[in-house]
Amino acid sequence: MDIQWRAQRKGSIENGYGGISSNFDQQRFVPFIYADVTEHVKIASEIEFEHAIRETDSSEISLEFGHIDYLIREPINLRAGIILLPIGKFNLLHDSPLNDLTDRPLVSQLVIPTTFPETGAGIYGTFYPTRLSKMDYELYVTTGPCGYDTDGTPRISEQNGTRNARQRKCPTEDGFDINNGKAVVGRMAFSPVLGVEVAGSGYYGNSSPAFSSSYTPLSILALDWTLQRGRWELIGEAAWAYARGNSRAIAGSTFAGAPPAGALITNQTGNNSVGIPPQRMNGFYIQGNYHFMPQWLAKWAPNRFGEGSIFTAVIRYDRVNTNLDNSSGGFGDLEQISFGLNYRPIEDAAFKMSYQYQPMAFNANTDQRIHDSAFVVSAATYF
């Protein structure tokens, strides 16, 4: 569960009434259901209620993941169901109580559309190259991306990045693939010693609908790292996405003003002033954490600040550009610096506050680039 209060310097919080600058939001309430069917068969699931105070289409109730695992041996196991795709590390470990800042990194919102689950099947496992090192991997075949509306309008844009290309956002109500193709996704993580991990991951799938003869694959590559030493921690992630042919009309397009197949698309909302959808995008974040507990606090109130409780000071730099083909800088050319402090009475619960400086931001209410900042307070816990 997590709840937040946000004070945005400019009224860029969308609420259907032209934007506000201060808002409470019950972000998520998420029951987990796990079961050991047998010694080798396991079930894991997460039912997510987002913004569920609203009884409208903008609230979301979904199965965030739900899969069956068949355990064979530690180096190889089988998994099938709705799977959190192993693109970067944040998509796998995105739960609010795990993270030391309230907001997700920009690259994990726009280039890697966290959360990113799809229906599929594959293998995963762990093996140990040396006595001190460890290698983890996941490899799946899943439902492919939903890159277009039924009239051929591209769903990948500067404003939303790749977010609307997920099946959970697709116009199809059955959750099926929009073509007969599938996506392949995998991640390999190497930990040479305890406290150090570096991983690479990739995703590839055709995003064109079945009615079109065009082939427009979406590919995403990511690199993530974790370095821990004592009280210090350095984490980060970088990602590159290529939506080939997204800026040009696919065969069979029928949207208003659709050009011939292969011609450049213009006048699409959510993109730059010319309205040309993006093909290439990238982004990264780098975050430093320092964990501490003042001794005077532990002595003054040992029941509240004793063993198991911790403070964390955080600084994170975010940079993302959702249209590298637009040299003038579009809606998705964003930058943010976050300063945070949180308190954990136990590891599974966090009370957070942060200040976000946004020298390059975007106001979705006015479709304008702005200079902005925000103060955010939140609480998140497992239960």
Distances 23 to 8, 50, 139, 319, 377 between C-alpha atoms, Å: 9, 15, 40, 25, 11
DSSP 295: H
Length of the chain: 383
What pTM was computed for the model?
0.93
Question: Please, which pLDDT band fits residue 368 given cuts at 50, 70 and 90?
Answer: confident
Has residue 164 got a pLDDT over 80?
yes
139 dihedral zone (left: phi>0; alpha: psi -120 to 50; beta): beta
DSSP secondary structure string, 4-20?
Answer: EEEEESSS-B--SSS-B
Question: Please, which pLDDT band fits residue 12 given cuts at 50, 70 and 90?
Answer: confident
Question: Please, which pLDDT band fits residue 172 given cuts at 50, 70 and 90?
Answer: confident
Note the Cα 75 to chain centre separation in Å. 27
**What local confidence, expressed as pLDDT, does residue 305 receive?**
92
Distances 285 to 11, 220, 362 between C-alpha atoms, Å: 25, 16, 18
pLDDT tens track for 316-365: 999 999 999 987 767 889 999 999 999 999 999 999 999 999 999 988 88
Mean of the pLDDT values across residues 123-152? Answer: 96
Omega before 115 within 30 of 0, i.e. cis: yes
Measured between alpha carbons, how far is 179 from 45 in angstroms, rounded to an integer? 27
pLDDT tens track for 238-249: 999 999 999 999
Question: Please, which pLDDT band fits residue 11 given cuts at 50, 70 and 90?
Answer: confident
**What local confidence, expressed as pLDDT, does residue 60 receive?**
74
**What local confidence, expressed as pLDDT, does residue 57 receive?**
59
- φ and ψ at residue 329, rounded to 5 degrees: 85, 110
pLDDT tens track for 280-308: 999 999 999 999 999 999 999 998 898 89
- Nearest Cα neighbor of 102 from 341, 304, 372 is 341
Q: 311 with 341: CB under 8 angstroms?
A: yes
- φ and ψ at residue 53, rounded to 5 degrees: -70, -20
DSSP 98: G
Q: Which segments of 83-123 does DSSP mark as H helices, in order?
A: 107-110
Question: Please, which pLDDT band fits residue 161 given cuts at 50, 70 and 90?
Answer: very high
Measured between alpha carbons, how far is 138 from 33 in angstroms, rounded to an integer? 22
Beta bridge partners of 228: 233
Dig out the tokens for 185 from the structure.
Answer: 């996704």
Measured between alpha carbons, how far is 316 from 233 in angstroms, rounded to an integer? 12
- φ and ψ at residue 248, rounded to 5 degrees: -125, 150
Has residue 223 got a pLDDT over 70?
yes
- Nearest Cα neighbor of 11 from 379, 377, 378, 368 is 368
Range from 64-68, 224-228, 363-367, 375-379 carrying the lowest mean pLDDT? 363-367
Question: Please, which pLDDT band fits residue 58 given cuts at 50, 70 and 90?
Answer: low
**What local confidence, expressed as pLDDT, does residue 331 receive?**
82
Compute, in degrees rounded to 10, the torsion defined by CA atoms 277, 282, 288, 289: 60
SS (H, E, C) 158-199: CCCECHHHCHHHCCCCCCCCCCCCEEEEEEEEEECCCCEEEE
* Rg of the chain (C-alpha set): 22
Distances 282 to 25, 174, 242 between C-alpha atoms, Å: 29, 31, 9
Mean of the pLDDT values across residues 3-16? Answer: 86
Work out the mean pLDDT of the chain and round it to a whole number. Answer: 93
Residue 228 CB coordination number (10 Å)? 15
Question: Please, which pLDDT band fits residue 378 given cuts at 50, 70 and 90?
Answer: very high
CATH code at 2-381:
2.40.160.10
Range from 78-92, 109-123, 273-287, 296-310 carrying the lowest mean pLDDT? 296-310
Mean of the pLDDT values across residues 177-184? Answer: 91
Mean of the pLDDT values across residues 6-15? Answer: 85
Q: Which of helix, strand or coil describes residue 338?
A: strand
Has residue 141 got a pLDDT over 60?
yes
Has residue 372 got a pLDDT over 70?
yes
Q: 331 with 367: CB under 8 angstroms?
A: yes
